[in-house]
Structure 1
Amino acid sequence: MRINKQKRWLMGLLLVHSTLFSSSAFASSDWFVSQDLYTMAHKELLEDNTAAVFQTIIQAWQQSPNSVQANNLDQLLNLAISEDCGHSLERKVLPVWLPKLSIERQVEQNLNQQLLKISVVGLTRSDITNISLTKWPNKPLLQGAPSIDDGGFFSVKTKRLNEPVSAGLYKLSITAENKPAWVDWIVLTTPADKQEISWKDSKTWRISNIEKNNGNCPSPTLNIKLYDLNDTTWHSIWSQESDSDWPTTLPKLNVPEGRYWLSVGMVKTRWQGEISILDIQRITRPVDYIGDDD
């Protein structure tokens, strides 16, 4: 469902008033006459030219915006995504040898520490030799050859980051044997400023303030996985996903009694053209499972 014109005008004008006019650099009342990138992006948004808005946002990020401008770009992107959850942001098509691609930004909270990471995952029909992700202008986040299984699914991820993956512009490059390098710009929005899922006790958790229906985007998905602590391959022995009626406790399972690793994740999905962008909050902990335990 598209945002109607009147509502888009009101949102755009409110955004301009609350952000652009808060800076003296944009104090002129005839801002629509200006030709700067921020004016262009607002005008393109009001004209429903979502792909053009996205390209202008990329150019504006390349000019190293200040904090006020960066906040404005973040809000502009969120408005553009509301059109169709980001499908129309970019017309660039994935190559035949790379039919599926996702960027996954994850915050994992276990009992002792918080783990921050970002991953590039997807499906390939070629031997990918290198994937790199760099924050503009020159901050490398991820680089390496992915692991590819027999079905062509691949992933490469950072081990651990010292700070959250912030809003901004990122350059993604993927190289495969006998293929030209595939390069694209990725724009990420600001991550959630607080943990929305947390433990109550060893087998139950709480979920706070997450909207199940987020406009044109799919409802967030809760995925639960149980791992055998003795299995170094880390393949789950049980899993469950739900996009409604999210459970908040581990159900009774047909698994041997023992000590396991429990992972509960909340996944929010949007798109940048054909690329899916996932924001994941995950909590993990060891759990003693007893079959007749209430």
Structure 2
Amino acid sequence: MAPGAAAKWFTGQDRYTLAHQRLLEGSTSASFEGMVQAWQQAPNNEERNNLNSLLKLAVSEDCGRSLSQNSLPDWLPNLVIQREVIQNLNQIMLKLSINGVSNSNISEVKLVKWPDQTVIANSPVIGAGGYFAVETRRLEKPITAGLYQLVISANGEESFNRWIVLSEPSVKQRISWKDSKNWRIERGNLPNPACPSPVLSMSMYDLNDTTWTPLWTEDVDGKLPTTLPKIDVPDGRYWLSVGLIESRWQGEISILDIQTITRPVDYPGF
């Protein structure tokens, strides 16, 4: 942790000051609790920006694993929150989804932006191995920085209830089509060395398959490709999806920000 001792983000003994002070003292989880309390005080724009900067600083310690010391319950061993911007050739779609694995029957997943703006309140789709997912599509505006309350209800289990603090989404679209055969990936801000390097997720779909089950998918980290590799699918017309995934943690909860581009392609017309 190397925040400048002369940082002058906050003044006075308020929630913002205390959260910053706890971070400087090396108590990341206590700082995070202070951030939650500060978001509950209806911060103004300057305070919101300061809280967003403070969260990024806290994540730089260990990619967010120390933000919360609360463990996931035994019936919910895996949980992921993901924001996604999906751009095809003529429109942009904003999406938020919550997925994970549970060995109990989940009845509802609810996400509310503090204090009372419901983002998701749905029964999940349950798949093999206890995998579940809920999502909201065609959001009118991005899921912005702020405080969110996540409640997951399961039959016979005590409800899982957590405060989630999200950072401001990137305003820069880093991935875009170069032409029908290639895409470009622009440099972003300096990467957080505590977090995994970005991952490129490529998937190919049958245009006639309404279930949108990928025929092929591959995830690559490290040196990211900018063209589709040779794959084993019949000649034809497909839907190609290429997503750039950046990840961090809030305790044991994985938080992903994804920028995806999609388009129809003729294969192997590459």
Shorter-chain TM-score: what band?
over 0.9
Does residue 278 of the first structure (1) align with residue 228 of the second (2)? Answer: no
Matches within 5 A, 1:127-146: 127-146=105-124
Give the C-alpha shift of residue 49 in structure 1.
0.4
CA distance in 1, matches of 2:232, 2:75: 40
Does residue 191 of the first structure (1) align with residue 165 of the second (2)? Answer: no
Give the C-alpha shift of residue 105 in structure 1.
0.5
Does residue 100 of the first structure (1) align with residue 93 of the second (2)? Answer: no
1:245 aligns to what? 223
CA contact (8 A) 1:212 1:220 kept: no
2:63 aligns to what? 85
- What amino acid does structure 2 have at the position aligned with 1:13? A
RMSD: 1.3
- C-alpha distance after superposition, 1:102-140 (max 9, x if no partner): 100110001111100111100000000000101011111
Secondary structure of the corresponding residue to residue 83 of structure 1: helix
2:148 aligns to what? 170
Give the C-alpha shift of residue 235 in structure 1.
1.1
Give the C-alpha shift of residue 212 in structure 1.
8.5
Secondary structure of the corresponding residue to residue 62 of structure 2: coil
CA contact (8 A) 1:174 1:183 kept: yes
Gap regions ≥5 residues in structure 1: 21-25, 27-33
Question: Of 175, 187, 191, which aligns to 1:209?
Answer: 187
Question: Of 84, 89, 92, which aligns to 1:114?
Answer: 92
Secondary structure of the corresponding residue to residue 246 of structure 1: coil
- C-alpha distance after superposition, 1:56-107 (max 9, x if no partner): 0000000110000000000001000011000010011111100000100110
- What amino acid does structure 2 have at the position aligned with 1:81? V
Higher helix proportion (structure 1 or 2): 1
Gap regions ≥5 residues in structure 2: none
Of structures 1 and 2, the larger Rg is shown by 1
Does residue 75 of the first structure (1) align with residue 53 of the second (2)? Answer: yes
CA distance in 1, matches of 2:226, 2:152: 39
1:13 aligns to what? 6
CA distance in 1, matches of 2:244, 2:262: 12
Does residue 263 of the first structure (1) align with residue 241 of the second (2)? Answer: yes
1:23 aligns to what? none
- What amino acid does structure 1 have at the position aligned with 2:30? A
1:41 aligns to what? 19
CA distance in 1, matches of 2:259, 2:128: 28
CA distance in 2, matches of 1:186, 1:41: 16
Matches within 5 A, 1:61-72: 61-72=39-50
Does residue 219 of the first structure (1) align with residue 194 of the second (2)? Answer: no
- What amino acid does structure 1 have at the position aligned with 2:155? E
Give the C-alpha shift of residue 210 in structure 1.
3.2
- C-alpha distance after superposition, 1:138-174 (max 9, x if no partner): 1111111111112111110002100010000001000
Report the TM-score when normalising by structure 1.
0.89
1:30 aligns to what? none
1:126 aligns to what? 104
